[in-house]
Amino acid sequence: MTVKRIRYHIHNLKLLISMILYGPCVDCVDTQTCLTISQLILFNYKEKKQMAKSVTSTHRHTLDREPPLPIYIGLNIHSHLRSKKLIEQFSSLGISITYDRVLQLEESMALFQCAGNTA
């Protein structure tokens, strides 16, 4: 799927959520509530792909569909509480990234900081 198509679908999703929440209000598309719900829907969307012998496979929470909100929630919980159990519970509800992904992102940020400080 091209970036242009993804942006088109995200815009339409925000319009739909806005109409559900506020009715036909054009100015309400970019409210925080609308953006939050749209990001959670995008994050929990299951993509079906055709595989060999017509077996379908579903993929959820892929890196190319990882909006900021679930990342923020996972990193925020980990930085304040260090609770693997709470992050995994939020992840199973579709609100946060997994604990393993939190650790992966924290490691990437640490390596990036170290690389920037040695230059």
Same domain, 46 and 88: no
Same domain, 56 and 1: yes
Pairing relationship of beta strands 56-59 and 47-50 according to DSSP bridges? antiparallel
Same domain, 74 and 119: yes
Reported as a single tens digit per residue, the pLDDT across 56-104 is 445 566 777 788 999 999 999 999 999 999 999 999 999 999 999 999 9
Same domain, 74 and 110: yes
Number of domains composing the chain: 2
What pLDDT shows up at residue 55? Answer: 47
CA angle at 101 for the pair 118 and 56, rounded to the nearest 5°? 135
Reported as a single tens digit per residue, the pLDDT across 15-42 is 899 999 988 887 777 889 988 998 898 8
**Phi, psi dihedral angles at 91 (to 5 degrees):** -65, -40
pTM of the model: 0.72
Give residue 24's domain range.
Answer: 1-60
What pLDDT shows up at residue 91? Answer: 93
